Amino acid sequence: MHDGLDPTTIIFALVALFVVWKLRSVLGTRVDVEKRPPGENGAGAPAAGRSAAQDGNIIRLPGAAVRMPSTPARGFEPYARSDKAKQGLTEIVAADRTFDLQRFVDGAKMAYDMVVSAFASGDRATLANLVSADVLGSFSSEIQKREAAGEIASTKLVGIDSVEVVDAGIKNKTAQVTLRLETKLINAVKDRSGAIVTGDPDLVVTTEELWTFARDVESRDPTWRLIATESEPNA
């Protein structure tokens, strides 16, 4: 044996460098590689009858949506108890595999707080990002009436006691979910002099509201927007 590098080793090293250079010249950038889950068709092995090129490493394209595991019907509790709600949620999962009920409910809670606060403060810009055009029109009309009368509204969300899916489904490629939210709020409207017109800044009121959110399942926009509300204070 000779000291130093073996000629065969040098040749393989040069070949490896050429392959790396060629890949970089084609792709132009480094890519992330997503491997098949171990245990699927063997420990990472291709499916029978398909080539390694088909079932091998997958290059994740920039901006590609991350596929979330679908929510099984048995996992819709505790938010969906009726068969109607579960069936509707199953339809949504079938049309949008990224849908996750827990994440949706968490987002709906945040949206609820933002919407009621923005409506009270007259923040039309925030509302425009969270509600449909029809709902925005109704909210803007009420805000305009308050402004014309010189009234100032204030709303504080004390808490959301419960959330339940009462209806769900796909309508004209649009997913819709109706939630019943039991909440505690402090509402008050004052006139120019500071006198209370409606509500009570020291009174916590429990309300039960129906909020319907919708999203086009074929759109790349992941935003769910409020398309309808119903509200009535509990006795």
Distance CA 175, CA 224 (A): 9
pLDDT tens figures, 150-190: 999 999 999 999 999 999 999 999 999 999 999 999 999 99
CA proximity to 225, closest of 183, 180, 176: 176
pLDDT of residue 72: 54
Q: Quick one: pLDDT band at residue 44, thresholds 50, 70, 90?
A: very low
Q: Is pLDDT of 47 > 50?
A: no
Taking only the tens place, the pLDDT of each residue in 70-85 is 455 557 889 999 999 9
What pLDDT, on the 0 to 100 scale, is given for residue 45?
Answer: 40
pTM of the model: 0.68
* pLDDT at res. 235: 43
pLDDT value of residue 75: 72
Q: Above 80 in pLDDT, residue 64?
A: no
Query: Which domains does the chain possess?
Result: 7-59 (no CATH), 73-233 (3.10.450.240)
Q: How far, CA to CA in Å, does 190 sit from each of 64, 120, 153, 158, 223?
A: 49, 12, 6, 20, 34
Under the banding of pLDDT at 50, 70 and 90, the label for residue 14 is low
Q: What is the mean pLDDT of residues 10-25?
A: 47
pLDDT at 62 over 90: no
Q: Region 216-227: what's the mean pLDDT?
A: 94
Average pLDDT, the chain: 78
